Amino acid sequence: MGPSTDLAECSGWDSADCEGTPLCPPRCPRFVDGTGTPVLFRPFEEVPGLRDGLEALYDCEAARGAISYPPYATPRAIAEWLDGLLERGWSVVAIEDGRPVGHAVLTPADATAPEFGVFVAPDYRGRGLASELLRQCIAHAIADGRDGVVMVVERENAAMRSIAGDHGFDVVESSAEDDWIGFVSFRLTFDAATVDQGPGLVALPV
C-alpha cells in the first residue's frame, strides 16, 4: 500500500518520540511547529492538487528573493517559473490545514550535490518550518545517494546563515564585502556528517 494522500488524517500526531519502522520515509512527515501547530511535510509528487496552492504561495512580494524567481512577477511568469522548478528538482511541501505554507527544492534533482532552496509564507516564519524543510531535504538526499547539499544565501539573510551553520554546513565561498548583493555559498557533505540510525530513519547533524 502506498502513502496516503489524505492530508487531514494524520495532522494531529506529534511524532517526536516515534522510533520509525522499515516502511517509514527517510524522515517522518509529521511535525509540530514552534506554536504547537501540526504541519505535514510531503513530497510534491505524492500529493495531488498541490500545484495551484504552490503558485498562490509564491504570488507575493516576499517571494521575490526565492531561488531564480522571475524578475517580472506576472501570474504567467510565476506559473512558468514554478513548473520549471518542479520539473528539474525534487520538492517537499509544508502543508497546514490542507494548503501549502512552505516549499523546499533540491535542484537539479540528479546532481551529486543539489542546491537547496526554500520559501516559507510570511505568516509562518519563525516557527521552525525552514529548518524542518531543510532536514526533510537532507534526509531525502542521503536516501537518494547524493554526496551532499549546497545552498547559496544572501549575506544579509542572517536567519538562513544561522540555519546553515546549525545543520553542519561549511562556508565554501563568499562574495566580496563591497558587492551590491553579497552571497555566501555553503556545502554539507554527507560522508562525515551523517549515518543511518534505526529503521526508516536518517540521523541528521543537529
pLDDT for the residue 11: 47
pTM of the model: 0.83
Look up the CATH number of the domain holding residue 115: 3.40.630.30
Residue at 23 is within a domain = no
Supply the range of the domain harboring residue 74.
Answer: 30-193
Please, which pLDDT band fits residue 205 given cuts at 50, 70 and 90? very low
Q: What is the pLDDT of residues 89-148, one digit of tens each?
A: 999 999 999 999 999 999 999 999 999 999 999 999 999 999 999 999 999 999 999 999
Q: Can you list the positions of beta strands (E) in the chain? A: 30-32, 38-43, 90-96, 99-107, 115-120, 148-154, 170-174, 183-189
Indicate the residue type of 36.
Answer: G
Q: What is the pLDDT of residues 58-90, one digit of tens each?
A: 888 877 766 666 766 788 888 998 999 999 999
Residue at 203 is within a domain = no
Which cell is 133 given?
Answer: 524543510
- Specify the DSSP element, H or E, that contains 104: strand 99-107
Residue at 83 is within a domain = yes
pLDDT for the residue 16: 58
Bridge partners of residue 82, in order along the sequence: none
Number of domains, the chain = 1
Residue at 25 is within a domain = no
Average pLDDT over residues 142-158: 92
pLDDT for the residue 20: 61
Q: What is the pLDDT of residues 6-62, one digit of tens each?
A: 444 444 455 556 666 667 888 999 999 999 999 999 999 999 999 999 999 988 887
Q: Cβ of 111: how many Cβ atoms within 10 Å? A: 17
Residue at 13 is within a domain = no
Residue at 179 is within a domain = yes
State the number of CA atoms in the 13 A half-sphere of 70 facing the CB: 18
* C-alpha triplet 146, 150, 153: angle, nearest 5°: 160
Residue at 49 is within a domain = yes
Contact at 8 Å (CB) between 93 and 54?
Answer: yes
